[in-house]
Structure formats: C-alpha cells, structure tokens
Amino acid sequence: MGVVERLGSGPGGVSRKASFPPVVDLSTRALILGSLPGDASLAAGRYYAHPQNQFWRLLSPVVEVDLPALDYCEKLAALKAAGIGLWDVVQSATRPGSSDAAIRDATANDVAALIATLPELKLVAFNGRTAAKAGQTLVHGIETLALPSSSPLHTVGVAAKQPAWNAIMKYLRYE
C-alpha cells in the first residue's frame, strides 16, 4: 500500500498519502504505531526508510540485533521474532511533505480490530506525539506507551530517547 495520490492539478495539488499494511503475527506482544509514513518511506515502500530516522537504531538494543546492518526483510523478521509489530494510526491523509504537523483530513486505521486479532499483545507504543494523540482514542483495554519520536524532525539525540524505547523490552519477555 503506502499510496500517494495527487489531488488537484499542477504544483498546487495536495498529496493524499496512505499507510502500509500492518507487520504483525500471532506472537506480537508489542505493537508500535507511527503516525503516517513520510515521503522517503512512501517512495521506498518501507517503514522508516529515511536514512536519518532513528527507528532502527532505537530498536536495536531492545531486540538485541544490529537492525541498521540488516536489509529491510531481515529487519522485519527480527522485529517479528522479538514479538514487535508495526503499523500507523493514520490510514490516509493529505499532507505536503513529511511533517506530522501538516497532516490534514486524516482517516484512522482500525487499530482496535487489529488488536483484537493479536492474542499475545501486551503493549501498544506510539512513536511520537502525533501518533500518541491520535492513537489514544483508538486503543482500549491494553497498556500504552508514548515514545519520543524517531523522526529526524525530532532533533533530540538517540541517547536521550533510548531509555524510553528500552521500556518496550519488559513486554517482550514471557513471564
């Protein structure tokens, strides 16, 4: 999916952008929800494809795998093996560029329906403030965690963000 559709004609047209399908399986214990893929991700057809996005670096210590060193399919396989799933709270929206602040006319993904299919799910984590604000209304009856955004537009360094992201680890362990 990850569709980009031009609405209007000429340079003044507004892009309607759509999220990718969820990356989950029946063993997903933590679901990380972003807002909506940015332009680099949409162009590549991959979650978190912008080279300056810190997502894969932040999750490496959580899953104990050097995710940036892997190709995309291996990254997704490593997340699934660790019990982590990915999706977005926004199904589609108009947005010039990649800034969450520019999201307009958003349609939400059916997060509750996805959660209902995940019997091992213990946590829904939101990657960034926009995802958390939109997603809190979509998630009921399960623990949530708001994470500092991995986006290159959120200029706080990895070291400052890492402790919050490490909190995911406790939900991946079987007790």
Give me the residue label for tokens 């063993």.
Answer: 27
29 alpha-carbon distance from chain centroid? 15
C-beta of residue 157 within 8 angstroms of C-beta of residue 148: no
- 139 CB contacts (<8 Å, ≥6 apart)? 111, 112, 115, 124
Shortest CA distance to 46 belongs to which of 55, 37, 54?
37
* 95: its two tokens: 């947005």
| Active-site pick, 53, 109, 127, 166 | 53
- Interior angle at CA 160, CA 133 and CA 73, nearest 5: 70
Q: Fill in the DSSP letter of residue 159.
A: H
**Cα-Cα-Cα-Cα dihedral sign, residues 53, 49, 58, 114:** positive
Per the annotation, the verdict on 53 as an active-site residue is: yes
* Coil, strand or helix at 161: helix
Tokens for 10, please give them: 């000429």
As annotated, the active-site residues are 53
